[in-house]
Structure 1
Amino acid sequence: MAIYFIGDIQGCYRELDALLAQVNFSVQHDQLYIAGDLVARGPQSLETLRLIISLGDSAKVVLGNHDLHLLAVYHGIKQAKPQDKLTSLLAAPDVSELMAWLIQQPLIAKLPQEETYLSHAGLSPQWSPSIAVSQAKIAQQHLNSTNASEWLTQMYGNQPANWHDAQDEVSRFRFTINALTRMRYCYHDGSLDFACKDSPEQAPSTLRPWFDFAHLDNKTQWLFGHWATLMGNCPPKNIYALDTGCVWGHYLSMLRWHDKKLFTEHAHKK
């Protein structure tokens, strides 16, 4: 059995299909951990979701910010953006089944018998992995409740940016969503920034990448997507950046876990 981690797919169905073929992925024997942002901006979000669901239990998904926004659009909370290319997905005859599956996916996945974790954006410097996992489970329970639409509405906003200011259930939920699906940079006290998307070389000196805070011990590994401008470059040896900007014309990356071999599929011409 091989375990693979793959970065942001964002509707790049053909590249995903080709990458799975490249490694001879077996539904019976292999597992694929997907770093979120399954949909949006790429041309085939509908086909991407159907393919991932067809993999059954061999596919382990965490939600990204684009996935959550799609759910908000489906629930009538937000309007679809033309650049997200979601028209065919939202008009599909099986859209309700697809959205019912999507909203059940977690915010963090953990490998069994390993301190190895996956989330879309990373781990807040103000959290330990155990806090992150517990808060992610609470947030998932909210999204799977009968009040899902209300919680999807509450996730929008940048405050609180500091975990210590999250004093009620809604604030903790919003911080959890933001930390696990939107975070790139933090201020020196660990509070979240949402404006800067540049590479670390170009970022203001007031900000640090979340993975620069050394808040993981050497026995813990964390994998994340979300940050295409990194192009897989992440200095800490136990933190792995998976998003290599396929939807922006670069390539889709998949990491085979046991030997850390990287497989890539360059973006196909649209």
Structure 2
Amino acid sequence: MATYAIGDLQGCFNSLTRLTKTIQFDPKHDRLWFVGDLVNRGPDSLKVLRYIRALGPAAITVLGNHDLFLLAVAAGLTPPRPSDTLTPILEAPDCRDLTQWLRQQPLLYREGDFLLVHAGLLPAWTVEQAEELADEAHTAIRGDQFVTTLRALHPSGSLQWRPDLRGPVRAATIIKVLTRLRACSREGNMESSFSGPPDETPDGFQPWFDVPGRRSAATTIVFGHWAAMGLRLTPNMLALDSGCVYGRQLTAVRLDDGKVFQVGCEETRGRK
């Protein structure tokens, strides 16, 4: 039995198929961990959702910002953008079933020495605190606060975490951290617009994983979201967004021994 963590798919189903063949994935014995952003921008988001859902317990996925955006569009809370490729899902006969399934997926998953999340954790958060907050926000997504939480999340630019936040804004801010964080100040204020490479992080901010004294540093964080950074592997960090949807690679790391597997992406080229 092996467990493979896979980077952002964003609708690149053909690349996923090639990658699962490369690693000789057997759903009877192996497991796939997905870092989120299953959908959008790539051409086959509907196939991706159907495939991962059908894997049942052989797949673990956390929610990414594009997955949450799909839920908001499907709920009529925000319009799609010209660059979105969500229409096949929205028009599919099983759209409701797929979005209901997506709502049940966690924002954070922890097992052994690994923690799976889409974007990152604030430096002041312990792993235990992050688990509690993720469960709190996930309860809002699954339950009666679904609409008010996603409405508070879109747009999210002004949201900044404070422990005294309450209601939908609190849940939306937790979600923003877990699904959109790239850079923050030493005090934990998030930079909300930056998406470039880490060495171009704006003044006054650092990549969240480089902030001194980060309280989750003893746990290996498995995440994606930062395509401009690309694949980066350290003893306590597996950054797996290698830019498949931008014509680069789709990456899997076997968690048992750290071996890296990649396939080139032919589905999209030259997109920034």
Give the TM interval when normalised to the shorter protein: over 0.9
Q: CA deviation at 1:142?
A: 0.8
Alpha-carbon distance change, 161 to 133 in structure 1, aligned in 2, over 3 angstroms? same
Equivalence for 2:23: 23
5+ long unaligned stretches in structure 2:
none
In the alignment, structure 1 residue 179 sits paired with structure 2 residue 177: yes
Normalising by the residue count of structure 1, what TM-score does the alignment of the two structures yield? 0.94
Q: Secondary structure at the residue paired with 1:84?
A: coil
Instruction: Identify which of 116, 119, 144 aligns with 2:117.
Output: 119
Q: CA deviation at 1:242?
A: 0.6
Equivalence for 1:84: 84
For residues 269 and 217 of structure 1, the distance between their equivalents in structure 2, rounded to whole angstroms, comes to 36
5+ long unaligned stretches in structure 1:
none
Alpha-carbon distance change, 145 to 266 in structure 1, aligned in 2, over 3 angstroms? same
- Paired residues in the alignment total 266
For residues 192 and 101 of structure 1, the distance between their equivalents in structure 2, rounded to whole angstroms, comes to 30
Q: CA deviation at 1:218?
A: 5.8
What fraction of aligned residue pairs are identical, expressed as a percent?
Answer: 38
Deviations 1:113-148 (A, max 9, x none): x13101000111121111111011011111111342
In the alignment, structure 1 residue 93 sits paired with structure 2 residue 93: yes
Q: Secondary structure at the residue paired with 2:251?
A: strand
Name which of structure 1's ranges 18-27 and 79-88 shifts more when overlaid on structure 2: 79-88
Q: CA deviation at 1:169?
A: 2.6
In the alignment, structure 1 residue 210 sits paired with structure 2 residue 204: no
Q: How does 1:120-159 map to 2 (within 5 A)?
A: 120-156=118-154, 157-159=156-158
Q: Secondary structure at the residue paired with 2:232?
A: coil
Q: Secondary structure at the residue paired with 2:172?
A: helix
For residues 216 and 118 of structure 1, the distance between their equivalents in structure 2, rounded to whole angstroms, comes to 16
Equivalence for 2:226: 227
Q: CA deviation at 1:215?
A: 1.5
Q: How does 1:35-46 map to 2 (within 5 A)?
A: 35-46=35-46
Q: Secondary structure at the residue paired with 1:197?
A: coil
Deviations 1:68-124 (A, max 9, x none): 00000000001112311111111011111100100110000111xx13101000111
Name which of structure 1's ranges 141-150 and 16-25 shifts more when overlaid on structure 2: 141-150
Deviations 1:210-269 (A, max 9, x none): 0002424664111110000111125x5201101000000101000000110010111014
CA contact (8 A) 1:253 1:265 kept: yes
Name which of structure 1's ranges 129-138 and 213-222 shifts more when overlaid on structure 2: 213-222
Provide the aligned C-alpha RMSD in A.
1.5
CA contact (8 A) 2:125 2:216 kept: no
Alpha-carbon distance change, 218 to 197 in structure 1, aligned in 2, over 3 angstroms? closer
CA contact (8 A) 1:8 1:243 kept: yes
Alpha-carbon distance change, 97 to 232 in structure 1, aligned in 2, over 3 angstroms? same
Deviations 1:21-69 (A, max 9, x none): 1111111111111000000000000011011111111100100000000
Normalising by the residue count of structure 2, what TM-score does the alignment of the two structures yield? 0.93
Alpha-carbon distance change, 104 to 31 in structure 1, aligned in 2, over 3 angstroms? same
Amino acid at match of 1:167: L
CA contact (8 A) 2:16 2:250 kept: yes
For residues 53 and 267 of structure 2, the distance between their equivalents in structure 1, rounded to whole angstroms, comes to 25
